[in-house]
Structure 1
């Protein structure tokens, strides 16, 4: 019996999506709950799964097409795959007999590879174009020897392929390639541009001596991991310190809605995470009620989901404050851009040993620059500086943070 395959119902914040990849072709057998299609929105990639064992009978929306909530994208027939699989063995002997007399010419493999490349899905052709890879050089592992996107990625990672690439480029040749932005990248660009144009953004800086936190982490990280099953990192200290500072400076935890100021009585902290698809900001809810182990476990889970493209829209919606850590990439100092409608964002940076004057003596200490970008329409300089100094003091004396002093 034919069944309509529909796009998921998108949240109110998502208007539409784009068919990113069809993992199955018409007539190809699929199992129940197997992923048959990916739909990319401006926030996440949504997976469409098979409702039962069977096969696709028609694809209505092709890769690159725009779809809206609950729109029909394909036709599916349950049980169709079983019949197709049973019919295959009967034809096999005839096909084998016909092929026996003829010998394959030496050029056949290359021709077959070229033909396979032409038949690949748009996602594979896009990967071939972006990497400058010749389809004839890639060994296909898909059905019928077809090249998959993973085959292209694996081919590029081989040392031989990397070494051979420069040979195909003529001396003095200037290479350019043009690829379309993903929906997520376009959405991030729109939001960043809006933040710079529609807010009175200003950044204030300070620096923190990380030695006390580093010593505490060194002393207790093994016992912490053994007890809680999570690694003790620096981010949990910053999130807990920021949460305490947000309690003391409510305007930093607020947002602007038209002519109104909305003061939030809860603390949902977003943590900026870099992924292959772009920057995403999953949100830890009620951080004032979370302990250090819960914070670390939550961050680790979000990082894994970001790598696999499994973050849900709900996990990235909301947030009253954001923390971004450019130090993981070696950034020494930066001015982070606001994440509207939030009114402030904290930037962490690389820990660097520097000579510091302490009580008239020069000491080499592990220092980190902190940056707080804020919307000056709502937050005054006094509040912004006080907020940042509070974080500095709590990190330099972590006992105050733990003892709630």
Structure 2
């Protein structure tokens, strides 16, 4: 389930593009066309300015100092946590744990569940996960003797929900699924996945890294146990993310790392741990990143997620139609429910070669397996060319991509 923002200002892509300084540059003598948004989004000036402001005016460590700069930094950091709580509609601010990114959040949960799982327990992942939502669970299974089960997918890039239901049993302890596939753009039916997992007595972690730039999750409405996201895909900086966890689960999980800030009292005989959220935030955090994550979320909400969804869907439909006019081009991931990602190949041409040629024309796309190698193995291909669109992209840029793909085909075909 998602919620949408109400916004009265009309959506004006040309005005929005002026917010992003990097979109004004040239690459290889051509205007930059940035279609690698699924890897990382670009950063608006308001976020860049907030980074400069932090380091220029109140750079200090947080939660420890009585001096003014420390108090100002602490206030800004914790206000950002509250912004994230409201954005994701968490019940309490301390259910929002700052991390270094989605991968960190997943590993934190996996490490915690190593204390609970035993040999013969089962955990379920989907066939379309990013490696970050596969490898930690494989490591968990190796450590505990638990068994990893996989929800299969079909050629359209959709999960087989009947097969998922058959995998669930009294042995299922955990279910992991991405909200949106980074390789295919598929929007997974996470409401159904969560509801069926809970019916079986299992907890659910949803990888929201690809979803959060496009939609606004409501974690209470979803009733999800854990939800992870990264700022750098949401117009924020790298090196900062968030883990939402239900208070009940966060209290049960042991700390992930030991160090300063996550303790209540330390003696050489015994250490007691701090309460939430500090229990999971050992050491000096990415203070600036945490503060400006909130600025990025404000920026996105200012545009309005209803506007973002509508415009990006328009870009997806247009790009799909135009790319399919190129003879020999095949799109992977054709679910009816998908976001603005198109993975494709040209018959007989390696995706890397296409990516290299379009880069010479100033167009940034991603080539390879997109850290989702099992998907590529399923289709029996080495990888794809992935064009991923954001709300600051245009149809004219899509036209430039189509022309570049046609040129690559003429040169390489």
TM > 0.5 fold call: no
Higher strand share: 1
Larger Rg: 1
Q: TM-score range by the shorter chain?
A: under 0.3
User: TM-score w.r.t. structure 1 length?
Assistant: 0.23
User: TM-score w.r.t. structure 2 length?
Assistant: 0.23
Greater RCO (CA < 8 Å, at least 6 residues apart): 2
